A = this chain, B = another copy of it.
């Protein structure tokens, strides 16, 4: 366990029980049951943000079980100077200690979420960009796999952002809980008097929490947009693949038509190739006649089939309606909203 006070950092080990006594808390209170929670108990703020567990007292910040979580760097290099206050890095540097501690932790949490988003965001955009490339005949399946994993990470990130927002919202919805979070106000009588003179800690606390709520909201908006983009891209990929297939199928059909024509008239050649007497054997003109008929016939039949295909794929009724529809839309909607402005 570790101790951080107005700038001095102390690390020590303590039994849980001693700690409870010192803070006059009950074992129940320090169970840190949910992944994300901020609660006030006996003028202490108990915070848990995934791996980070902390207790804020009016003049110190205790970070519990901090080892092996990859948090050491942040604790030593960033948290200490921020709490110190002289850095000016925090918006609340002129406010009591609990504000500084809370802001530092919330900011760390938002930064973590942001970092996770920043990691996933460009990867997804890159993959989508290469997948929707209209030149591709088939989707690269290893990229699809990476997309699926990132999309899964995105869902988890979305859940974490939602949980973070909900835990802040729960506090923001109850005036009373905001009051309880201003621990200095209740312990320091001087501050308490001041607060009745207008310098309101609760209002500052609300602004602080609201600020981080809004930041989480923006992160949430970005993830939602990203999910929408993945969905839209998937539709486009499907249309792309389907279009490619249709084009290939038409080519295939045209060639099948050609093969059919050739088979049909080839049959004639095969007939004359039989070792049967057809009485035409001796006439050299017949050779040219039949050969010419075979090739020309094939060609003609093919051409007829192709033009038949062309006609077959066109719809029966000319669709004159869409043009009207579009104009209509722009006029009625755009116009209405415009005129509604004045």
| Chain A interface residues toward B at CB < 8 A | 26-28, 31, 33-35, 37, 91-92, 94, 107, 110-111, 114, 118, 121-122, 125-126, 129, 132-135, 137-142, 144-149, 151-152, 155-156, 159, 162-163, 207, 211, 214-215, 217-219, 221-222, 224-225, 228-230, 232-253, 255-260, 262-267, 269-284, 286-288, 290-291, 294-295, 298, 305, 309, 312-317, 319, 321-323, 325-326, 329-330, 333-334, 336-338, 340-342
Contact = CB atoms under 8 A, between A and B. Distances in A.
Copies per complex of this chain = 5
Given A159-B221, A276-B286, 20 more contacts: A33-B215, A35-B340, A125-B329, A133-B319, A135-B313, A137-B246, A138-B247, A140-B315, A151-B232, A155-B225, A241-B242, A241-B246, A251-B309, A258-B263, A266-B270, A271-B287, A275-B278, A277-B281, A278-B288, A279-B284
Given A155-B229, A248-B249, A284 B273 contact: no
A228 B230 CA distance: 13
A138 B250 CA distance: 10
A234 B144 CA distance: 12
A269 B259 contact: no
A342 B31 contact: yes
A252 B256 contact: yes
Contacts of A125: 326, 329-330
Contact of A340 (B34, B139, B146, B315): B34
A321 B242 contact: no
A140 B244 CA distance: 10
A163 B295 CA distance: 69
A42 to B, nearest CB: 11
A260 B256 CA distance: 8
B138 A144 contact: no
B260 A255 contact: yes
A287 B282 contact: no
A273 B151 CA distance: 62
A229 B151 CA distance: 8
Nearest to A218: B337
19 contacts: A31-B91, A121-B333, A134-B315, A139-B240, A140-B316, A141-B243, A145-B321, A155-B228, A155-B232, A159-B224, A163-B221, A218-B340, A230-B232, A255-B305, A259-B263, A263-B263, A267-B294, A269-B274, A278-B284
